[in-house]
Structures are given as C-alpha cells and as structure tokens.
C-alpha cells in the first residue's frame, strides 16, 4: 500500500512547505502539488495524482485538510467516491477522515450527507426566491446587453454595410452578441 499526498495553495505567494512536511511525516511517499484556486477545474497536480492512483488499488490519497482537495462538498464526494470505486482510500489529516477504517468511512458518509442536505436547502431557497421575484414581475438573470434600441441601431448599421465587429465596437458588445441579436430580430 502506497500513500500519495496532494498539497495545494491558492496563490503563487503562498508556499507548500508546511503541507509537504505534514504529508511526508504522515508517510506520503509521493506528493503532487498545485498552485491554483480550489474552484478551478484545471488543477494539473490533482489530475496527475488521480491518474497515478488509477492502477494502484489499496493505495491512499492523503491531504492535510479536506479543503485542499475539493472545491465544494459535491466535488469532494465525487472525487472520494471515484477513488472508492477503484479501491483507493482517502485520508485527511486535520479532520481525521480516514476511509481505511470503518469509523472514518462513516464520518465521511455523514459529512457528505450533511453537504448534500445543505446543497438542497440552498437550491430550495434559491427557487423560492426566484418564484417570489417572478410573482412581483421581476425576472432574474443578467440584464440584456442588446436593448430594443440597440438592436434597431445594429440593424440600421448592418443595412448600411457595417460588419458585426464594427457594430460591436460602436455598441460596446462582442460581434457574436450583435450577430445573435440581429438574427433573432430578423426571425421575429
């Protein structure tokens, strides 16, 4: 059984030394690292660690803190479930999560259930808030960048031979926004 460590800091000014020292002291033989926000999908170090573990059933992925691995509870649960399906365990040193033990696995399941419950509550409140806003005549979302007046201007400029890029520069929007607005106006 090999223990593979993963360490991450969010910015380039932060250093990985303390995480690497903790992982090494806890028995990590190989450590993968990232300097990236946990919210980013592209984390090459995590991808490399997961790829390395792909064919190592019985191994352990270890982090110093649970927030170093997952950007959200849902993401964390997906990663740990994927590891479990491949026979790989997970360990977080500070939270005491260790899926190699029955108690650690139970703790993780409870943690995941609380996270899922929390996510559902947030979703329900969001839907209720949107429904209340709609009942008052307000629509959610970003305001349209192409108002009826701007579409009229775009149509006039296009009729005079202006390109989508030129119209976009005049109106302060992208060429694709202009193109889409003109197509929608012509279809209406």
pLDDT digits (tens, 9 = 90+) for 49-98: 988 887 667 899 999 988 888 767 777 888 888 888 888 999 999 888 88
Give the model's pLDDT for residue 169: 94
Spatial distance between the Cα atoms of 97 and 111, rounded to a whole number of angstroms: 10
For residue 35, report the phi and psi dihedrals to the nearest 5 degrees. Answer: -110, 85
pLDDT at 78: 82
Rounded to whole angstroms, how far apart are CA atoms 173 and 181? 11
Strand ranges for 64-185 from DSSP E: 89-92, 97-98
Give the pLDDT confidence score for residue 38 in this predicted structure: 59
- The tokens of 27 are what? 């028995």
**Residues of the chain predicted below pLDDT 50:** none
- The pLDDT of residue 77: 80
CA distance 96 to 62: 11
Catalytic, 10? Answer yes
- 10, 162, 174, 179: the catalytic one is 10
Asked whether the CA dihedral 28, 34, 39, 41 is positive or negative, the reply is negative
Residue 15: what pLDDT? 84
The dotted CATH code for 3-114 is 3.40.50.1390
Q: How far apart are CA 184 and CA 162, in angstroms?
A: 18
d(CA 184, CA 176): 12
């Amino acid at each position: 059984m090999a223990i593979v460590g993963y360490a991450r800091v969010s910015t380039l000014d932060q250093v990985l030394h303390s995480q690497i020292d903790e992982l090494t002291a806890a028995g990590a033989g190989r450590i993968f690292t990232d300097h990236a926000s946990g919210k980013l999908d592209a984390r090459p170090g995590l991808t490399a660690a997961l790829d390395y573990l792909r064919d190592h059933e019985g191994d352990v992925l270890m982090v110093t803190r649970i927030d170093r691995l997952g950007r959200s509870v849902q993401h964390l649960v997906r990663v740990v479930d994927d590891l479990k399906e491949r026979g790989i365990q997970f360990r977080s040193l500070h939270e005491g999560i260790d899926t190699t033990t029955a108690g650690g696995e139970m703790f993780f399941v409870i943690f995941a259930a609380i996270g899922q419950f929390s996510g559902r509550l947030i979703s329900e409140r969001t839907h209720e808030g949107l429904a209340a806003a709609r009942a008052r005549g307000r629509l959610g979302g970003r305001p349209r960048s192409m108002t009826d007046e701007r579409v009229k201007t775009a149509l006039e400029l296009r009729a005079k031979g202006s390109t989508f890029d030129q119209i976009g520069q005049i109106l302060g929007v992208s060429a694709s926004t202009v193109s889409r607005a003109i197509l929608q106006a012509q279809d209406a």
